[in-house]
């Protein structure tokens, strides 16, 4: 072995203690402890992951990425935390706060970072107000309020000398913010190429500090100073020329064990909440504005039934091919209309063709089956012609 040819360095007990002390001044021991605690709570952990900082075109390292994944049906639901770890023995972190203005139109107080490649989830996330729904759920779920709730807003931060309380700049705090949100965007943007199976990712940012934190609250020109063990920072940042709001949750390491139970509950909530959107789509497919729910899978539905409809029409000597142009639900009639049309036919031809289909039991049967398989719709439906006045 190579080591056999080298003289062993003789360390005294004093040397060993000094080495240990110096190693503990780095952040690596802290990272290891945090990873171990996360793994004990069944979080998968990736250490020291490198990413390309597109803003400054540099390779950077993010301390920890932790995630949980749970399957529901054919979809994997991920809760992911991008984590920065910092430590200081001689500086405390001070956060200057003010009251939150709930009505501020220029601020998104409750940003939620999701990515999905599932069509229904994409549709639902674009259609409903996710932030409002989760905010309403905070009232009955303490762990949700812990993660998302905002009663004060951090407008500045600073490192202070623990003895003199002299300002020591904000470098470490600022770096913990920028590196994590840039890493979040890098991970999020990479999913389009990496993930092939259907999934939903929810991203969050943590900055875990092994040291003291204080809040300086400005209330009617009076400053109130208190020690805190967690605080949320919210602001608008531009990453890769895209402007978004980000929430960075600062936590003291000494209380992390109790906080992780809340993060465990958060993942359980996410799985139930986001998988529930799939069921909600099917339950409310007839309720979406402008029949967008049916439009979501119109092409898939057309591929499933249109050739069969054409074959049935041919058996009645209707040889022109009709396309499905839209699917619309009439709430007053409680009737779903499947509109058929072609640029190569007249309205009279189309009216006669749909009358044939509406009377054909086999055409009705396989169309009903396709509606159930694709939309889980089991109500009444009719074929209809499209009248084009010009």
Query: Which pLDDT does position 6 carry in this prediction?
Result: 45
The verdict on 225 and 360 lying in the same domain is no
The verdict on 229 and 358 lying in the same domain is no
Taking 70 as the pLDDT cut, the residues of the chain under it are 1-8, 24-27, 51-59, 240, 387-390
The verdict on 89 and 232 lying in the same domain is yes
Q: Is residue 5 in a domain?
A: no
Among 283, 315, 349, identify where a domain stops.
283
Query: Which pLDDT does position 390 carry in this prediction?
Result: 44
The verdict on 240 and 104 lying in the same domain is yes
The verdict on 299 and 247 lying in the same domain is no
Q: Note the pLDDT tens digit of each residue in 292-326.
A: 999 999 999 999 999 999 999 999 999 988 999 99
Q: Is residue 8 in a domain?
A: no
Q: Is residue 118 in a domain?
A: yes
Print the domain residue range for 176: 14-283
Query: Which pLDDT does position 222 carry in this prediction?
Result: 86
The verdict on 254 and 381 lying in the same domain is no
Return the CATH number at 371.
3.30.300
The model's pTM is 0.89
Q: Is residue 1 in a domain?
A: no
Q: Note the pLDDT tens digit of each residue in 235-282.
A: 888 776 778 899 999 999 999 999 999 999 999 999 999 999 999 999
Among 228, 251, 283, identify where a domain stops.
283
The verdict on 299 and 271 lying in the same domain is no
Q: Is residue 3 in a domain?
A: no
Contact criterion met (CB below 8 Å) for 381 and 367: yes
The verdict on 190 and 153 lying in the same domain is yes
Q: Is residue 9 in a domain?
A: no
Q: Is residue 215 in a domain?
A: yes
* φ, ψ for residue 135, nearest 5 deg: -60, -40
Query: Which pLDDT does position 52 carry in this prediction?
Result: 60
The verdict on 277 and 329 lying in the same domain is no
């Amino acid at each position: 072995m190579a080591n056999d040819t080298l003289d062993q360095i003789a360390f005294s007990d004093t040397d060993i203690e000094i080495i240990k002390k110096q190693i503990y001044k780095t952040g690596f021991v802290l990272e290891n402890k945090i990873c171990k605690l996360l793994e004990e709570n069944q979080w998968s952990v990736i250490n020291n992951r490198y990413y390309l900082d597109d803003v400054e075109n540099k390779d950077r390292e993010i301390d920890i990425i932790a995630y949980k994944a749970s399957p529901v049906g054919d979809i994997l639901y991920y809760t992911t935390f991008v984590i920065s770890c910092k430590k200081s023995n001689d500086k405390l972190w001070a956060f200057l706060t003010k009251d939150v203005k709930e009505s501020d139109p220029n601020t998104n107080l409750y940003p939620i970072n999701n990515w999905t490649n599932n069509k229904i989830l994409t549709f639902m996330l674009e259609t409903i107000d996710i932030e409002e729904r989760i905010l309403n759920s905070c009232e009955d779920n303490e762990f949700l309020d812990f993660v998302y709730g905002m009663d004060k807003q951090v407008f500045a931060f600073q490192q202070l000398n623990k003895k003199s309380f002299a300002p020591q700049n904000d470098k470490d705090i600022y770096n913990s913010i920028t590196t994590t949100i840039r890493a979040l965007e890098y991970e999020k943007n990479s999913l389009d190429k990496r993930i092939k199976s259907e999934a939903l990712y929810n991203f969050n940012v943590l900055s875990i500090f092994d040291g003291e934190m204080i809040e300086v609250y400005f209330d009617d020109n009076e400053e109130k100073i208190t020690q805190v063990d967690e605080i949320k920072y919210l602001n608008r940042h531009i990453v890769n020329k895209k402007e978004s709001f980000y929430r960075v949750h600062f936590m003291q390491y000494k209380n992390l064990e109790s906080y992780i139970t809340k993060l465990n509950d958060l993942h359980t909530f996410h799985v139930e909440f986001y998988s529930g959107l799939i069921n909600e789509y099917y339950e409310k497919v007839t309720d979406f504005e402008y029949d967008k729910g049916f439009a979501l899978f119109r092409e898939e539905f057309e591929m499933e039934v249109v050739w069969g409809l054409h074959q049935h029409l041919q058996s009645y000597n209707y040889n022109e091919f009709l396309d499905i142009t839209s699917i619309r639900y009439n709430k007053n009639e409680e009737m779903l209309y499947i509109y058929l049309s072609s640029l190569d036919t007249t309205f009279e031809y189309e009216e006669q063709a749909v009358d044939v289909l509406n009377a054909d039991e086999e055409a009705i049967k396989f169309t009903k089956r396709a509606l159930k398989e694709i939309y889980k719709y089991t109500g009444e439906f009719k074929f209809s012609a499209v009248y084009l006045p010009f």
